[in-house]
């Protein structure tokens, strides 16, 4: 949690306490696990399955390279002393190339998956915040606090499941 966010939260809490004590307002508060809400919506589950399928061929290619590397290592170990110096050098060079290829594939795959996942989660996060704001307005809530910044709350205050249902209704998985 950033210092700036912590300060904002502290100021908001102080304001709520001071208004409540002064009798100026009755603040209605709810809690949400924004992370669980976003990850629980049907759109994200469908996108996750699509990403798994999309990157499956590259994952399989990496697994094949890994098996090839293991085969080369086994050949080097089992034929130690039996191979000519040239044959041993060739196998080692082949293993190094495959190791380099595997590392590049892994780095590229991780970068692509991370970029796509961040884009999907960013979009879903923005949509979820809109849904939560609408939910707060409908329920007459003054404040909705993320569960991660809350030390204690009554389970009845948790709107996470309602937010997921509202999100799925507003943005059905296609």
Q: Is the pLDDT of residue 42 over 60?
A: yes
CB 124, CB 41: distance < 8 Å: yes
Each domain of the chain, given as residue ranges in start order, spans 3-170
Closest CA to 44 of 116, 136, 148, 133: 116
- Start-to-end Cα distance in the chain: 34
pTM of the model: 0.74
Read off the pLDDT of residues 62-115 as tens digits, 9 standing for 90 and up.
999 999 999 999 998 888 888 888 988 999 999 999 999 999 999 999 999 999
Return the CATH number of the domain spanning residue range 3-170.
3.30.910.20
Confidence check: pLDDT of 24 > 70: no
pLDDT at 5: 54
């Amino acid at each position: 949690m950033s210092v700036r966010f912590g300060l904002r939260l502290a100021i908001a809490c102080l304001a709520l306490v001071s208004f409540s004590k002064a009798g100026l307002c009755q603040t209605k508060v709810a809690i949400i696990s924004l992370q669980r809400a976003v990850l629980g919506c049907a759109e994200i589950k469908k996108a996750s399955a699509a990403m798994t399928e999309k990157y499956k061929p590259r994952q399989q290619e990496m697994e094949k390279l890994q098996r090839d590397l293991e085969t080369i290592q086994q050949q080097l170990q089992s034929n130690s002393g039996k191979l000519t110096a040239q044959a041993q050098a060739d196998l080692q060079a082949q293993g190094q190339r495959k190791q380099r290829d595997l590392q590049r594939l892994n780095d590229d795959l991780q970068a692509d998956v991370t970029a796509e996942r961040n884009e999907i989660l960013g979009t879903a996060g923005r949509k979820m915040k809109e849904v939560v704001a609408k939910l707060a307005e409908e329920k007459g809530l003054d404040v909705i606090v993320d569960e991660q910044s809350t030390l204690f709350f009554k389970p009845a205050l948790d709107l996470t499941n309602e937010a997921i249902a509202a999100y799925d209704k507003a943005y059905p998985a296609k």
